[in-house]
Amino acid sequence: MATFGERALGAAQLKTAIYEEVENDQGATGQAAGVVVLASVAAGLGGHPSVWGLIFGVIAGLVGWVIWSYLTWWIGTKWLPEAGTHADPGQLMRTVGFAQAPGVLHILGIIPVLGGLIMLAVAIWVLVAVVIAVRQALDYTSTGRAVGVCLIGWLIHIAIFGILTLLARGAM
C-alpha cells in the first residue's frame, strides 16, 4: 500500500493503479479530503490570497468535492452504467479527491505573466485526472463514457454552485 505522498503523486501522474488502490481503501477518504484541502489552499494562494478567500476556498472545495462525487456516482451508476459498473459514493469520493492532486500546482498562479497560463494548464490536468478517476471507480472500459459522465456532472455542478453563489451574495 502506497503512502499518502505516493498516492497523491501517483494520482497526479495519472496512474490507474493508484486510483484502483484508493477506490478500494475505505480508510483513504480522509486522505482524499486532505488532497482537496491542499489543492484548495494552493488555488487560494495562487490566485488573490486573503484569509477569507482561503477559508471560503477550502469550504467550497470540500463542498464541491462531495457534490461532484455524489453527482458522478449517481450519473455513472444510474444513467450511464456499463455492464460491469459497480460503485458506491465513497469510491467516487476517494478517487475524485485524489484526482485533485495536480491542483497543488495552482500555487504557481502567483507567478507574474505566466500564472494564468499555469492555472489553466493545471485545471486541464485536474480534469483529465478526474476522468481517469471516474473511469476507474465506475469500472468503465470506455474513457468516452467517463468523459460523458464528467461533462454532465460538471454542468449540473456549475449550475448548483451558480445558484449557491447568487444566494450567498444576496445574503451579504
Q: Using the predicted structure, report yes or no on whether residue 171 has a pLDDT greater than 80.
A: no
Helix axes 51-74, 29-46, angle to 10 degrees: 130
pLDDT of residue 169: 82
62-86 confidence digits (pLDDT tens): 999 999 999 999 999 999 999 999 9
Q: C-alpha 127: how far from its chain's center?
A: 8
CA–CA separation, 147 and 128 (whole Å): 9
User: Is residue 94 within 8 Å of 28, Cβ to Cβ?
Assistant: yes
The per-residue pLDDT for range 141-162, each reduced to its tens digit, is 999 999 999 999 989 988 987 8
Residue at 92: amino acid letter: L
CA separation for the pair 141, 129 (Å, rounded):
16
Q: How many other C-beta atoms are found inside a 10 Å radius of the C-beta of residue 97? A: 29
pLDDT score recorded for residue 172? 66
Domain segments of the chain as ranges: 4-171
